Amino acid sequence: MKLDTLDDAMELFGQIGGIGNENCIFFAQKDQAQIGVRGSVSGPVIGGVVDGLTGGIGSLVGTVADIALGPNTPQMEISKQMNLDVLNNYIQFLINETENTISIIPIRMKGVFTSKADEVKVFLESARVIPKNQIGKIEIKKFSFLTPTIRGVKFYIMDGYKLEYMVTTNFKALPYHIENFKKFNERYKK
């Protein structure tokens, strides 16, 4: 699969109902603390190269696009209904923020240290579309003073569930990443 252009990425998000009038698509990796390599910036990338570790084992309860979550969904039920735990089986992701949703597609990409994305594998069966009315807060902070180009991105789901990612501000393998993440960062940075 190719993700070299914004049109490629839009087509991919279109397959899961994760497209809106405003789209902000960027690349993210699981937060290092979640995979036990705090202090090693390359940890998640290397993990992604090693076949996504457990990349294809997520059990499926159905895609979030099929779940109509409304504002009256009981607390502590949202993340279970969406089966957000399946995202823990992956290390690399494409994220799209629209005016109504945050969509997350697990991917495995080799060649992330080069200027292009090589050998991209997409795991659409584990993609999730989260309605924004189910997200309590989006937080972006500098990851550490030692890594000035890395940001920590956290999505706090209304039931207390949290999704944590790392995003490199100067990631050049996907040409649309830098501009889109800059917009996303400006909206939510502290």
Per-residue pLDDT tens over the stretch 13-44: 999 999 999 999 999 999 866 554 333 333 33
**pTM of the full structure:** 0.77
How far apart, in whole angstroms, are the C-alpha atoms of residue 113 and residue 124? 24
Closest CA relative to residue 55, chosen from 82, 91, 84: 91
The domain ranges of the chain are 6-16+23-188
Give, for 122, the enclosing helix (H) or strand (E): strand 118-122
The residue ranking higher by pLDDT, 175 or 59, is 175
How high is the pLDDT of residue 139? 96
How high is the pLDDT of residue 122? 95
Q: Report which DSSP code applies to 73.
A: P
Burial bucket for residue 39 (CB in 10 Å: 0-12, 13-18, 19+) = exposed
How high is the pLDDT of residue 63? 35
Q: Report which DSSP code applies to 100.
A: S
How high is the pLDDT of residue 39? 35
Tell me the CB-side half-sphere exposure of residue 114, using CA atoms within 13 A. Answer: 9
How far apart, in whole angstroms, are the C-alpha atoms of residue 129 and residue 57? 19
How high is the pLDDT of residue 81? 81
How far apart, in whole angstroms, are the C-alpha atoms of residue 107 and residue 12? 11
Q: Is the predicted pLDDT of residue 142 greater than 70, yes or no?
A: yes
Measuring CA to CA, how many Å separate 32 from each of 13, 51, 176, 181? 25, 17, 24, 19
